[in-house]
Amino acid sequence: MSKRRTQACETLLRRARAIVDTEGTGDAALGKIKDLLVGLANRGEALFPRGAFAMPAAQGRNHVLALEDGDGMGLYLTIGLPGKEAAPHDHGIWCVNAAISGREIHKFYRRTDDASREGYATVEEVGSVTVAPGQGMAMSDHAIHATEVLGDVPAIGLALYGYALARFPSVVWFHPAFTSVRAMPTRRAEAA
């Protein structure tokens, strides 16, 4: 099982890399990568049996499935417990998600202020998509999204990022109720 899973995940990374190298990371290219990831997620229990991955003690957990060398992409199995939420944020790099089981809503935002005041930001919701089995989502560099696990079962899925989590750029968090913004430090220097 583990060998088949490893091979399938490494194949996905190679195919995603080929798309990025030839087409870039525009909407059309990310749509193709999303289709690949949904196909892998659709293999569900055959490749990603629940018992093979520890459940989170609280809220959520990421399990590394495959990483490119150097400054490359990272593929993860993600688990979010019912009710897990993440405020609007921009992780500075493209991301593609696909569901194995459960449902997670992704709400998309755009920044409406001019970013001239430190610590201040306004955002407005511009759309949403629910990631459920057979469905995925793709978002480009610097897209802003918030997430929430829906229902009473964990959301288990796959996430492919333009960089491995250990090499993420600064993540920017938006707090609409307080018209505030804060940036977390980048992890890129630590991982070098």
Domains identified in the chain and CATH numbers: 2-191 (2.60.120.10)
pLDDT at 184: 77
> Of 64, 104, 62, 113, which Cα lies nearest the Cα of 86?
104
Q: Which two tokens stand for residue 70?
A: 């150097």
Backbone Cα Rg of the chain: 16
pLDDT at 81: 95
pLDDT at 99: 97
C-alpha 191, offset from chain centre = 19
| Residue 37 identity | L
pLDDT at 190: 55
pLDDT at 50: 87
Q: Helices 2-23 and 27-41 meet at what angle, rounded to 10?
A: 170
**Consecutive sets of 10 residues in the chain, 192 residues long: mean pLDDT of each?**
90 97 97 98 92 87 92 94 94 95 97 92 96 96 95 97 88 86 71 50
Within 13 Å, how many C-alpha atoms sit on residue 188's CB side?
Answer: 12
pLDDT at 162: 95
- Nearest-angstrom CA–CA distance, 170 and 162: 14
pLDDT at 80: 95
pLDDT at 170: 83
